[in-house]
Amino acid sequence: MFNNSFVSHILVKKRFAFFATGETVGTALRRKMIDVRRVKHIYPADERISSKHDNKNLPKIQNLFASSCMSLSLNVHNMVNPSESAVIISVASDGHFASIWPNQGHLAIKGTIVRTRPGYNAMCHRLSLGYDFLMKSQTFFLFKDTDRFQKFNATCLRNSKLRALGKRSRFMLIV
């Protein structure tokens, strides 16, 4: 469905960038497949909310980009114009990305930042960029292998919001 949208390198030309902290994004950064020299502020694309306040995504982002730009937490007070933003997220083997599980209706939640709950852990809530924000920003989906891309494609056929997001996004395969 989206084979014409693949890129081999990402030059982030936006002032603001939101990154997922999964291993696929880390691999792409280590291989220098993503250039963030023009970015002024970097945010995590999702953050965990729990009673222990044990979010690890912001510290991971701060470690990855400490020398190049300012890292800020994901919250309503720090939000920026989505048209000035790039979002780089990886798709997990179960099809979720940035704490959004498309098959659980998370793309239907209204808002710039949305609160989600993964099906496997009812006690843990997460904050993530909402569908509205993703549709207005420059979005890149990263895939660890072709199997994940094929599963994403199959989900797009059943989910009109994900299909619409996919049509305006770019993709990168990290093998």
Q: Which domains does the chain have, with CATH numbers?
A: 11-173 (3.40.50.1360)
**pLDDT at position 135, please?**
95
Task: Report whether 170 contacts 6 (CB < 8 A).
Answer: yes
pLDDT score of 106 more than 90: no
Q: What is the DSSP string of the chain?
A: --GGGB-S-EE--SSEEEE--SHHHHHHHHTT-EE-TT-SEEEESEEEE-TT----HHHHHHHHHTTTSEE---SGGG---GGGEEEEEE--TTS-BTTB-GGGTGGGS-SSEEEE--TT-TT-EEEEE-HHHHHHSEEEEEESSHHHHHHHHHHHHH-HHHHHHHHT-EEEE--
pLDDT, average across residues 97-115: 86
pLDDT tens for each residue of 55-83: 666 677 667 665 666 777 777 666 788 89
pLDDT score of 53 more than 60: no
> Which amino acid, residue 15?
R
**pLDDT at position 57, please?**
66
* Assigned token pair, 13: 């030309």
**pLDDT at position 103, please?**
82
Give the burial class of 74: count Cβ atoms within 10 A of its Cβ; 0-12 exposed, 13-18 middle, 19 or more buried.
buried
Taking the model in full, what pTM does it have?
Answer: 0.87
CA atoms within 13 A on the CB side of 68: 18
**pLDDT at position 80, please?**
81
Between helices 160-167 and 146-158, what is the axis angle to 10°? 120
pLDDT, average across residues 89-117: 87
